[in-house]
Amino acid sequence: MSVVSNPFLPFQSRPPLDGDYAREELSLAYRNSALPLEALSYDITPVGLHYTLTHFDIPRLDAAGYRLAVSGRVARPLTLDLEEIRALPARSERVTLECAGNGRGFLTPRSASMPWLYEAVGTAEWTGTSLRNVLDRAGLLPDAADIAFFGADRGFDRGVAHDYGRSLKPDAAAGDECLLAWAMNGAPLAPQHGYPLRLVVPGWYGMASVKWLTRIEVLAQSFDGQQQAVGYHYRKDPDDPRVPVTFQKVKSLMVPPGIPDWYTRRRLVERGPMGITGRAWSGAGLAVSRGEVAVDGVWRDAHVEPQRSRNAWQGWRCEWRAEPGEHELACRATDAAGATQPVEPPWNLSGMGNNAIQRVAVTVR
Ligand SMILES: Nc1nc2c(c(=O)[nH]1)N[C@H]1C(S)=C(S)[C@@H](COP(=O)(O)O)O[C@H]1N2
Ligand SMILES: [Mo]
């Protein structure tokens, strides 16, 4: 669709924002709910506390009328209903999903988009069948170069109307990692999480896990959809070579200790010994090998639980003797590949992949 036919052209300007949050950001923040940080205490995030990110409207689908079409460069084009998909071999996997835009709201200037701070993350137990079971049934032809996944949701972004769509190279889709999931934490998917069927791509930022999956198209060339070719790239200015956003970066978040002030979210902690706890994760199946906590800038090691699922976060804990006064707590993680979190946010144009350390202001009395 050309820009000429864009009905939103008069409203298209989205200059980077600085300072105050805009009304548009506030309305996106209402639509896309966050993990309240105290819910980091759950190893599996209850469904209603898991973050959500939906670009357009949540489509209203019913299980009876649902079909998944597989077409393009395949030997046997398929149309499967939900019962046929659920009859395929099932498995469950605990997966930590994080939105690539998490942390965008801390950047200066920031991209005009969803202004997440820390909380666009959650871990669920997804149940479904390996994507491979459906792709094998369709049979990729030898010239299959890319696999596009489309949701039932449609809208405009940067002047182009499209069904939300993302792609994976056949290599990335071939293993047993990707799931076509129909259940989350043991219950059918909630409407906002992709009912009745979604893709789950473990280890990747959330945009790859297409919700309300209705169409898989196998292509002989790279997918040029808006959310693949235009959105989700790292670049510092518009002329930079664009690096696609893929795997989650290493990150750690703490359960805010003590009790909050309603408005500022500053914390009040009683003096004395206490535990500081949180969760840490990375992408691409990498375990977190080290967790640290800083009190007023002095780092110490935290105890990190072993990885119990290749693509799920790990709990950590650190003891602290809280002394009266004003303090800043921070936490950071290092993964098995040696990557660690930066102190300052890594800046890029669309505000993707900000994995800077979390800071929490605490008053101890
Ligand atoms: N069809 C569709 N799938 C989608 C999206 C969307 O807008 N439409 N958003 C993506 C993004 S950016 C993220 S971070 C995750 C969020 O998944 P959740 O809402 O279940 O947490 O879904 C991804 N899948
Ligand atoms: Mo996202």
Q: For residues 210 and 349, state if they share a domain.
A: no
Q: Does residue 2 lie within any of the structural domains?
A: no
Per-residue confidence (pLDDT) for residue 175, from 0 to 100? 87
Task: Give φ, ψ of 45 to 5 degrees.
Answer: -70, 125
Going from the C-alpha of 92 to that of each of 95, 125, 126, 204, the distances in angstroms are 9, 6, 5, 17
Which CATH number goes with the domain that contains 331?
2.60.40.650
Q: How far apart are CA 53 and CA 97, in angstroms?
A: 11
Q: For residues 163 and 304, state if they share a domain.
A: no
Question: How many domains are contained in the chain?
Answer: 2
Query: Is the beta carbon of 167 within 6 A of some atom in ligand 1?
Result: no
Query: Is the beta carbon of 210 within 6 A of some atom in ligand 1?
Result: yes
Q: For residues 212 and 344, state if they share a domain.
A: no
Going from the C-alpha of 81 to that of each of 64, 166, 172, 260, 318, the distances in angstroms are 8, 22, 25, 48, 49
Q: Does residue 100 lie within any of the structural domains?
A: yes
For the segment 129-154, what is each residue's pLDDT rounded down to a tens digit?
999 999 999 999 999 999 999 999 99
Query: Is the beta carbon of 206 within 6 A of some atom in ligand 1?
Result: yes
Residues whose CB is less than 8 angstroms from the CB of residue 6 and which lie 6 or more positions away in sequence, other chains included:
12, 156, 159, 160
Per-residue confidence (pLDDT) for residue 10, from 0 to 100? 85
Mean per-residue pLDDT over the chain, rounded: 96
Picking from 244, 272, 298, the residue at the C-terminal end of a domain is 244
Which residue from 31, 53, 99, 199 has its CB within 8 A of the most atoms of ligand 1, so it is best to mutate? 53
Picking from 208, 227, 244, the residue at the C-terminal end of a domain is 244
Query: Is the beta carbon of 214 within 6 A of some atom in ligand 1?
Result: no
Q: For residues 259 and 208, state if they share a domain.
A: no
Q: For residues 254 and 123, state if they share a domain.
A: no
The residue among 300 and 15 whose pLDDT is bigger is 300
Per-residue confidence (pLDDT) for residue 4, from 0 to 100? 58
- Ligand 1 atom closest to the Cα of residue 98 is 14
Domain boundaries, position 302: 9-17+248-364
Q: For residues 157 and 262, state if they share a domain.
A: no
Which CATH number goes with the domain that contains 31?
3.90.420.10
Q: Does residue 3 lie within any of the structural domains?
A: no
For the segment 80-125, what is each residue's pLDDT rounded down to a tens digit?
999 999 999 999 999 999 999 999 999 999 999 999 999 999 999 9
**Of residues 162, 159, 231, 161, the one with CA closest to residue 8:** 159
| 196-213: average pLDDT | 98
Q: For residues 238 and 122, state if they share a domain.
A: yes
Q: For residues 13 and 78, state if they share a domain.
A: no
pLDDT over 90, % of the chain? 95
DSSP H or E segment with residue 83: helix 82-86
Picking from 191, 211, 244, the residue at the C-terminal end of a domain is 244
Q: For residues 233 and 103, state if they share a domain.
A: yes
